Amino acid sequence: MRTARTRPALRRRPHRPLRAAAVVAVACLGLAACSSDEGGGDEPAAEGPESQKVSKGATIDATWPLTGLSVTGSESAAQDHPVMVVKMDNTPSSAPQRGLGSADLVVEELVEGGVTRLAAFYYSDIPGTVGPVRSMRASDIGIVAPADAAVVTSGAAPVTLQRVRGAGITFFSEGAKGFFRDNSRAAPYNLFTDLAATTTLVEGEEARPDDYLPWGEAEDLPKGKPATSLAADFGSQTTTWSHGPKGWTNTNSFAAADDRFPADTVLVLRVQVGDAGYRDPAGNPVPETKLEGKGQALLFHDGRVVSGQWSKATLEAPLALSVRGKKLTVPAGRTWVELVPAASGAVSYSP
């Protein structure tokens, strides 16, 4: 048993007081791209704060940290909860995924066996049921640390738990408030959370988190090249996208048709992958995505692609993007980030 706790001195902003919550850390259950250059996305169809593009001259406190979109009405960009990240299964067994359409931002990462798992970020809207909830990987440290996020997970392998605790990351596992099993599904794909309930385990006044990506406006993007279809190949999983009037659609999503993530932008980062140092119960080596250093970036927005570079000085540091030596920004909106292995993965797109 461990309690939720805040990150130590590496935090860049004050965190609110935490209410102690029991967290059951369970061992993780194992799971059983030709690249080019230069953007795609469109006006978001969702109602609410996500439908308002950030205006020129808007102050950072008037925008949402995970989308860059303007805060409207009486809402505040400083919520009374942290960013919540749900680790979600992304195999056919997860269908239908629930709650993905309410996420502000999604990161897709490689796990063992060449399949992927999702880190779904929630801040401007905390929905009800989300899942299926699966386990953490060491790769998640670099994914969630810049947002000072709390992670909702089924647990992790002992070596991963040690590293996550050492990074000061708050997490909640089965047994904590909000978690439940859907008995109509087969384990381990039947663990879900009532995210609104789990979020109450961390309460109090919350400062606005730092921007997760370098937000900007679509008109500031370089021209790039035409791109209306995209395939991100991780090995056993290839995630495919199509651009249309409402932005980018994940055409092989495991979410229900009315609960898919509405991506304005798909950001592909070519990353290095190492060995996490242990094997899953099926004997597969567990990969570890290295979300620090630098590599190629492909930004797909509004039917075009811009090719550039990404860099991240440390696991806790924010992501920086550049093209031909100049800062590259991500158009405000909802973004799906693909962490595609530079060596074993592939990225292809067509006009």
CATH of the domain at 101: 3.50.90.10
Note down the domain range covering 339.
Answer: 82-350
- State the CB neighbour count (10 A cutoff) for residue 258: 7
- Residue 78: which residues within 8 A CB-CB, separation 6 or more? 61, 205, 206, 207, 208
In a domain, 286, yes or no: yes
In a domain, 328, yes or no: yes
In a domain, 52, yes or no: no
**Residue 171 pLDDT:** 96
In a domain, 4, yes or no: no
Please name the helix (run of DSSP H) or strand (run of DSSP E) that holds residue 197, with its range, or none: helix 195-199
pLDDT along the chain (351 residues), means of 10: 33 35 35 32 32 47 92 81 97 97 98 95 96 97 96 95 95 97 96 97 79 96 96 97 95 95 98 92 90 97 97 96 96 98 97 95
In a domain, 335, yes or no: yes
Nearest to 221 by CA among 296, 307, 294, 295: 307
In a domain, 20, yes or no: no
Exposure of 267 in the CB half-sphere (CA atoms within 13 A): 29
- Residue 235: which residues within 8 A CB-CB, separation 6 or more? 110, 113, 114, 115, 341, 344, 345
**Residue 35 pLDDT:** 33
**Residue 26 pLDDT:** 34
Query: Count of domains in the chain?
Result: 1
Q: Residue 147: helix, strand or coil by DSSP?
A: helix
Pairwise CA distance, residues 270 & 232, whole Å: 10
In a domain, 288, yes or no: yes
**Residue 281 pLDDT:** 82
In a domain, 228, yes or no: yes
In eight-state DSSP terms, residue 244 is E
**Residue 334 pLDDT:** 98
**Residue 76 pLDDT:** 75
Pairwise CA distance, residues 92 & 130, whole Å: 16
